[in-house]
Amino acid sequence: MAEGSRIPGFYKLSLAARRQLVAERAGLALGDLEHALEAGGLDTATADKVVENVLGIYGLPFGVALNVRVNGVDRLVPMVVEEPSVIAAASNAARMVRHSGGFRAEVVESLMIGQVQITDVEHPSAAVARLEAAAPRLLELATRAVPNLVARGGGPRAIDVRDLGQRCIVLHVLVDCRDAMGANLVNSIAEALGPLTAEIAGGTLGLRILSNLCDRRRVHVTCRVHARELVSTPRASRARGAEERNLDIDSLEVVDAIVLASRFAELDPYRATTHNKGIMNGIDAVVLATGNDFRAVEAGAHAYAARSGRYSPLAVWRRDGEDLVGELELPLALGIVGGTLRVHPTARLALQILALESADELAMIAASVGLASNLSALRALATEGIQRGHMSLHARSVASAAGALGDEVELVAARIAGIGSITVEDARRALGEVRAGDA
């Protein structure tokens, strides 16, 4: 992304101008970008081959988050989401984080887990020991099941066996799936291992399937924001007569309020659930845009959030001097090859816009957008509340629906938000007044 992901005023451009700009920045032909976005990218005949009982296509908005910098690299991040303000909020928080150098992210291990269940085991602890001793043989068998993955540098890496009680044991095979999400690869391996595992264990073969609690394929992201970045309108505060020092105190209060919001989520599963929903607003939108399995991601994220036995926030925030520091960790199995990407031009377009080199990069970017979404939500909740921002964005889209163009959108949106009645009818009236030059 040679020119970076910062594009001031992007939201004010016409849709055509936004497409043009993103095509240029991503080094794509405008025609290719337009083609991939036409009618959601998927035609009915293709959709009919993807799932069953097809009647048509269900469209969702495709946008890009701006300002995202992960490990020093700028990215325009495609997001698919129906909820207003999610993309703006992520872009806004990413801009604040950018001032301190952007997000730092890493993928921990990058191994998927396949499970083989064995039931009716006569002597479970002896069976566990026999399977552990047979690990080299089992790994060899697993390796033979996925020759193409092995040729790409991936493959089975380790065997883990646990006694679950009630004469049931489970064998885990850990697999490096490289740039694939890996569900099919891992399921193939688990099925290939099944009969030999049951024979060695001396039990009955049960399920053979991946685990979506892929806690050996985790993403860890941190970010740092100086307090001053959290105060949205410093000029407005100054205009109200605040001195520089007071301004600092205000912004540090915002830092403390966000830390308290984080503590609330750490203390209360009811709040942690909504806190995590705000994180998944960002992550799911990237997961969907890139054609990945959002149900798998959701299942893994929430199971991980509950790993201590108590449902907890996936991201926490602390104060460090005048900085707010955020940290997020979750399991994230994403692919940039195979699956939906084979059939969905818009998902392929999303990957081109991201200019990725690996699935790990995609996971780090998606998690960074999740942390940005969380920051934006907590900042709004800890200060003016969430509704004001939502309402002003809603006012903008109502103004556009009423026919406002270019600069008229902001003027009309400000009028209808000001009178507190955000309807198309009021927007049309306000548009008439704006065009008549009525101050």
Distance CA 268, CA 90 (A): 25
Contact call for residues 254 and 227 (beta carbons, < 8 A): yes
Q: What is the nearest approach in angstroms of ligand MEV to the Cβ of residue 232?
A: 16
Neighbour-count burial for 114-123, b at 16+ CB within 10 Å, e otherwise: bbbbbbebee
Can residue 273 be called a binding residue for ligand MEV (CB under 6 A)? no
Which residue among the candidates 220, 277, 302, 394 is catalytic per the annotation? 277
Assess whether 248 carries a catalytic annotation: no
Distance, in Å, from the CA atom of 377 to the CA atom of 386, rounded to the nearest integer, reads 7
**CA distances in angstroms from 345 to 39, 89, 179, listed in the order given:** 11, 27, 18
Is 390 tagged catalytic?
yes
Give yes or no for residue 274 binding ligand MEV (CB under 6 A).
yes
Secondary structure (H, E, C), 15-73: HHHHHHHHHHHHCCCHHHHHHHHHHHCCCHHHHHHHCCCCCCCCCCCEEEEEEEEECCE
Least CB distance from residue 126 to ligand MEV, whole Å? Answer: 50
* 182 lines the binding site for ligand MEV (CB under 6 A): no
Does 386 contact ligand MEV by CB under 6 A?
A: yes
Token code pair at residue 217: 């394929």
For residue 203, what are its two tokens? 């039990």
Nearer to ligand MEV by Cβ, of 315 and 404: the residue is 315
Closer residue to ligand MEV, CB minimum distance, 170 or 223 = 223
Q: What is d(CA 5, CA 25) in angstroms, rounded to the nearest whole number? A: 9
Find the catalytic residue in 74, 176, 293, 426.
293
- List all residues 6 or more positions away from 369 whose beta carbon is below 8 Å from its beta carbon: 65, 68, 77, 79, 90, 94, 282, 283, 285, 286
In the complex with ligand MEV, the residue whose CB is nearer, 13 or 381, is 381
Asked if 389 interacts with ligand MEV (CB under 6 A), we say: no
Query: How far apart are alpha carbons 240 and 124 in whole angstroms?
Result: 73
With CB under 6 A as the contact rule, the residue among 277, 318, 319, 429 that binds ligand MEV is 277
Cβ proximity of 110 and 217 under 8 Å: yes
262: contact with ligand MEV by CB under 6 A? no
326 near ligand MEV, rule: CB under 6 A:
no
- Give yes or no: 293 in active site: yes
Options 90-98, 203-211, 249-257, 275-283: segment touching ligand MEV (CB under 6 A): 275-283
Tell me if residue 277 is catalytic: yes
Per annotation, catalytic residue among 220, 226, 302, 390: 390
* Distance in Å, CB of 390 to ligand MEV, minimum: 9
Is residue 281 a contact residue for ligand MEV (CB under 6 A)? yes
Query: Which residue spans within 177-303 are E strands per DSSP?
Result: 204-210, 218-226
- Chosen residue from 94, 97, 185, 377 binding ligand MEV by CB under 6 A: 377
Instruction: Name the closest residue to ligand MEV (Cβ).
Output: 278
Residues that bind ligand MEV (CB under 6 A): 83, 274-275, 277-278, 281, 377-378, 381, 386
Q: Which residues are catalytic?
A: 83, 277, 293, 390
